[in-house]
Amino acid sequence: MSKLIYLDNAATTQVYPEVVEAMKPYFTEVYGNPSSIYSFAGEAKKAVDHSRQVIADMLGAKTEEIYFTGGGSESDNWAIKAAAEAYASKGKHIITSKIEHHAVLHTCEWLEKQGFEVTYLNVDEEGTVQLEELRAAIRPDTILISIMAANNEIGTIQPLKEIGEIAKEHGILFHTDAVQAFGHIALNVDDMKIDMLSLSGHKINGPKGIGAMYIRKGVKIRSFIHGGAQERQRRAGTHNVPGIVGLGKAAEMAAAGMENRISYETSLRDHLISRVLEEIPYSRLNGHRTNRLPNNANFCFRFIEGESMLILLDQNGICASSGSACTSGSLDPSHVLLAIGLPHEIAHGSLRLTLSEQTTMEEIDFTVDKLKEIIARLRSMSPLYEDFVKKNS
Amino acid sequence: MYSEKVMDHFNHPRNVGEIENPSGVGTVGNAKCGDIMRMYLDIDENGIIQEAKFKTFGCGAAVATSSMATELVKGKTVQQALEVTNKAVMEALDGLPPVKVHCSLLAEEAIHAALWDYATKNHIEIEGLERPVTDIGEKEEAVEEEY
């Protein structure tokens, strides 16, 4: 088997050829700076405006509420730091969850050092934020709620609409990190009462290094990058025109194909989940069984460690990821898996498989077949499994 | 990220398994940080290690260092086995990435733990051998908890 089976689409995706084609002219032909005055630059500006329109339409936003950034992490940093600064006179309390991406968590930790207080909400065992806990965490000095739209590891989709309503009720800004959700599931900033939303290009078959932020009109946050009048003076720096065009094209394709893709990926995902749970003993699914991203499956296999599993999958041409300590570069396994209540030793044996619309049923079946062999092999070497078998024989 | 030797020992681990009624067996590491090694030794009446086997829960480096450690101690006397340090294991594997050095320490400790068990069972003292520091007794119980 020499073919690559790419099941790590939550890490990044293949740039669609159509996206590359759309970008190409903006390197060598339409290379003008969209901020320039001459008509040659107008072509580039038009392209940037078109991408902005596409994204605004997808979110139910106005074009002037979309700001291009260097990616999802930049958007998260900008939203949280700038909102904290802008609303500090009102209060210094922020609410987020324990399962956010590090772009949010580490930003919040940094703010704590600057004198802000942060409440990190628990999630239930399926990874869902509890609305009662959110309500209880709100204080008079709470200025921001930042809860991700869907989790990057376990795929659980959060009740954005309900969270947005609670935020609005209390007059608190609501930011959502929608990097994994945008283009994969439907999002509407008005229905969900979202004030700020982060998104990224490379999770939806667009280029890397480009993202955007939705900022509701009236939200007073200042520029994050100073030095120019771009993006309504809120994000300086010459526009990454090819990147913006690529993001726009990818978003357009994601929106057009969303319905079909959701149903296709969901059927593959459900087949994968049921085969794994039925055929591999001592396995469990992490995240919500149904209310999860269509392309996400995340499992734990007891008695084995994730990195070993990844190496052996790689040798079979399968790209996947794990929340084990060895893959995180620290001694702790994924904070998300710990937050849903898994003990360390079980979290170490996690495997995330994230599909795309290119993934085939044959690839899923091949992966499960290989996985069975790999897990059996690693268990045969595991002292934990040996103890378990002895205890239960 | 891994050397060819590490990959070879990960893909074709030597001496995986258990020894029935071993002269000494030791388990080190803990499941919390993601590595557990168990080493079995069969030591003859002359104090020579006839057989070494291992089982490991852990990453690629943990498996490879366990495998190499068993290879290095086989045929050695108890005293010589004590000289199989984590450095020796690492060198024999053509090095490890910096974040994986702790795996080689675990391999050294696994040897020591098995020798300690051997010494305790036979009421002998092995010069230079200290009681192994990492003991996972309590942690093992946590692993058995149902999730």
Q: What is the pLDDT of residues B97-123, one digit of tens each?
A: 988 888 899 999 999 999 999 999 999
List chain B residues with CB under 8 Å of A350: none
pLDDT (average), residues A92-105: 97
Q: What is the pLDDT of residue B141?
A: 42
Q: Is the pLDDT of residue B15 over 60?
A: yes
Residue B2: closest CA among chain A residues belongs to which residue? A311
Residue of B21, B18, B8 whose CA lies nearest to B39: B18
Task: Please enumerate in sequence order all residues whose Cβ is within 8 A of that of B76, keeping only pairs 6 or more positions apart, or say none.
Answer: B48, B49, B84
CA–CA separation, A301 and A303 (whole Å): 7
Q: What is the pLDDT of residue B134?
A: 57
What percentage of chain A exceeds 70 in pLDDT? 98
Interface of B with A (CB under 8 A): 10-11, 13, 16, 18, 27, 31-38, 55-63, 99-100, 139-140, 142-145, 147
Q: Are A282 and A300 in contact (CB under 8 A)?
A: no
Q: What is the pLDDT of residue B99?
A: 86
> Are B58 and A305 a contacting pair at CB < 8 A?
yes
Please name the member of B35, B63, B147 whose beta carbon is closest to the beta carbon of A346. Answer: B147
> Are B34 and A380 a contacting pair at CB < 8 A?
no
Size of interface A-B (CB pairs under 8 A): 89
CA–CA separation, A70 and A243 (whole Å): 9
List chain A residues with CB under 8 Å of B34: 305, 324-326, 331, 333, 344-345, 348
Q: pLDDT (tens digit, 9 = 90+) per residue, A24-34?
A: 999 999 999 99
Q: What is the pLDDT of residue A2?
A: 61
Task: Please enumerate in sequence order all residues whose Cβ is within 8 A of that of B128, keeping only pairs 6 or more positions apart, or say none.
Answer: B79, B82
pLDDT (average), residues A194-220: 97
Higher pLDDT, B142 or B90: B90
pLDDT (average), residues B10-25: 96
pLDDT (average), residues A249-270: 98
Q: What is the pLDDT of residue B147?
A: 37
Q: What is the pLDDT of residue B146?
A: 38
List chain A residues with CB under 8 Å of B144: 387-388, 391
**Active-site residue, A319 included:** no
Positions of E strands within chain A: 5-6, 66-69, 93-97, 117-121, 142-146, 173-177, 196-200, 211-215, 283-285, 296-301, 318-319, 350-354
Q: Are A131 and A121 in contact (CB under 8 A)?
A: no
Lowest mean pLDDT: which of A70-79, A245-254, A313-322, B27-36? B27-36
Q: Are B18 and A386 in contact (CB under 8 A)?
A: yes
pLDDT (average), residues A275-280: 98
CA–CA separation, B25 and B115 (whole Å): 7
CA distances from A313 to A13, A307, A388, B34 (A): 19, 10, 25, 19
Q: DSSP string spanning A149-184?
A: SB-TTT-BBP-HHHHHHHHHHTT-EEEEE-TTTBTT
Please name the member of A341, A381, A387 whose beta carbon is closest to the beta carbon of B16. Answer: A381
> Are B10 and A382 a contacting pair at CB < 8 A?
no
Write down the pTM of the prediction: 0.93
What percentage of chain A exceeds 90 in pLDDT? 93
Q: pLDDT (tens digit, 9 = 90+) per residue, A337-386?
A: 999 999 998 999 999 999 999 999 999 999 999 999 999 999 999 999 99
The catalytic residue among B28, B36, B41, B103 is B103
CA distances from A198 to A156, A182, A194, A223, B4 (A): 17, 9, 11, 15, 42
The catalytic residue among B1, B33, B99, B124 is B33
A110: number of Cβ within 10 Å: 14
Q: pLDDT (tens digit, 9 = 90+) per residue, A31-68?
A: 999 999 999 999 999 999 999 999 999 999 999 999 99
CA distances from B30 to A161, A302, B16, B38, B136 (A): 42, 15, 19, 11, 5
Q: What is the pLDDT of residue B142?
A: 40
pLDDT (average), residues B113-140: 79
Please name the member of A326, A343, A383 whose beta carbon is closest to the beta carbon of B36. Answer: A383
Higher pLDDT, B8 or A328: B8
Q: DSSP string spanning chain B?
A: ---HHHHHHHHS-TTBS--SS-SEEEEEEETTTTEEEEEEEEE-TTSBEEEEEEEEES-HHHHHHHHHHHHHHTT-BHHHHHT--HHHHHHHTT---GGGHHHHHHHHHHHHHHHHHHHHHTT---TT----S---HHHHHHHHS--
Tell the burial category of A362 from Cβ atoms under 10 Å away from its Cβ (0-12, 13-18, 19+): exposed
Tell me the ipTM for this assembly. Answer: 0.87
Q: Is the pLDDT of residue A131 over 70?
A: yes
Confidence of residue A327 (pLDDT cuts 50, 70, 90): low
State how beta strands A5-6 and A350-354 pair.
Answer: unpaired
Confidence of residue B145 (pLDDT cuts 50, 70, 90): very low
Q: pLDDT (tens digit, 9 = 90+) per residue, A157-182?
A: 999 999 999 999 999 999 999 999 99
Q: Are A247 and A237 in contact (CB under 8 A)?
A: no
Would you state the structure tokens that stand for residue B19, as one six-digit string?
A: 């020894």
Chain B nearest C-alpha distance from A332 (Å) = 6
Q: What is the pLDDT of residue A326?
A: 65
Q: Is the pLDDT of residue B94 over 50?
A: yes
Q: What is the pLDDT of residue B1?
A: 84
Q: What is the pLDDT of residue A107?
A: 98
